[in-house]
Structure 1
């Protein structure tokens, strides 16, 4: 199955968040109509959280039947459950605590106060994925949100680290992360690339170089986002500053 790559440029971060939120609501309604359920993978960070807050603020928010939507995460910081730096906490505050999603449909990574160690936490999340998956051992991910770091990292897969090349499991423990906190949990590249649609949302001039290199064919080991591609579609939603080094021919006039 081929995958289109598109870059959609927005004038500001605020316009970017509102646009992605509107597209997410429309696409999720379509997925529910077509398939009966939808499975979403969330990210953290400033822009990812802004998108979820924009979904929550949208008058169309409850056009989605949230009882048929499940949520997972692409990565997580190894911190206590209620730590404000956890992607889960940010997502709950921005959206999940405000919608009628059943608790059993929300699948956060384990936390440090769950009474297990980091390696066991990775194994537990992989087992949870498999319990909700098909013969591939993975659930059907309909939309996966990812942020992109200035170094080109995605989830907690960093440049020049072994994580980006691991292909024999779905979840890995991450230690000595170049970005704090040092310990994390992350889906692997094959797990992310099993997604039907990957939506990468990024803003700011500090992201321009990584985005330009990824679209120019850089190595996934040098720029991990270069190795990310959804099965059906890969869309980069960016603001004007982040798009500074994107070749004009790759910028889509519309989605």
Structure 2
């Protein structure tokens, strides 16, 4: 498999970024549903990620998607009680899922700290849920399976931290180095809470499209390093690669350290091909 250059789309501010990304996601889901009936999106948390979900929920075109036929997973989660407002799933429910006619059976949160005994158990349970979904898809017509351990991810959303972490894969830590697994338990994360569950980079890179949404001057260094080709152990944001497309959707502040050769004014870039 070869990877083409990333598509970079720059927006004037975070509001424009989240509105445009929401419209793009709606369009993508409609396209996938027109081809296969069911679409799958992997959600992210963070200020920009949740603001984008809020923009989807209020977008005039939201009705074009059959939300009852969208599967929802998470790229990472904080190991906290199920009702904690700091959980990505709780924030996503408030911003998007509770606002739309989704099928609860298609919403797959990571097990919470009051549901399982340890973060390792949560990671194992999530890996099993992913594998079960993959097994069910294998029997469905029209699905091309990428990895027998994982369902097909049509769009996988990621944020980027100032330290260049993505999901809960932090620089130089064990999670970003993990291979041979789809889900990893994270301990001693450098930002609270210290325990988390995350998809591995290996799992992230099975997605058809990976979209990294980033805003703010404090992220500019991470964006610049990632797009300049830094090593993923030191700069995890350099690691995500969609199988067909890797989109960087950023605001002007986050783009302040990019060189002109990395910019794609149309934001579409060439596809990543198998």
- TM normalised by structure 2 equals 0.91
Question: What is residue 30 of structure 2 aligned with on the other side?
Answer: 29
The reply on whether 1:62 has 2:63 as its aligned counterpart is yes
CA distance in 2, matches of 1:34, 1:137: 23
What is the deviation of 1:67? 1.2
**RMSD in angstroms over aligned alpha carbons?**
1.0
Match of 1:112 in 2: 113
Report what 2:47 is aligned to.
46
C-alpha distance in 2 between matches for 1:227 and 1:55: 27
Aligned residue for 1:153? Answer: 165
Task: Give the ranges of 4+ consecutive aligned residues of structure 1 lying more than 6 Å apart after TM superposition.
Answer: none
Which ranges in structure 1 are unaligned for 5 or more consecutive residues?
Answer: none
* 1:42-95 per-position Cα deviation (integer Å, ceiling 9, x unaligned): 000000000000000111111100111000000000111111110001100000
Aligned residues: 255
Counterpart for residue 166 of structure 1: 178
Structure 1 position 115, deviation (Å): 3.6
The match for 1:193 among 186, 189, 205 is 205
8 A contact 1:2–1:232 mirrored in 2: no
Assess if the C-alpha contact under 8 Å between 1:209 and 1:245 holds in 2: yes
Unmatched tracts of structure 2, length 5 or more: 139-146, 269-274
Instruction: Give the TM-score normalised by the residue count of structure 1.
Output: 0.98
Cα distance in 2 for residues equivalent to 1:18 and 1:166: 34
1:117-143: per-residue Cα shift (whole Å, max 9, x none)?
211111100000000114621000000
SS state at 1:198 partner: strand
Paired with 2:265 and 2:34, the residues of 1 have a C-alpha distance of 27
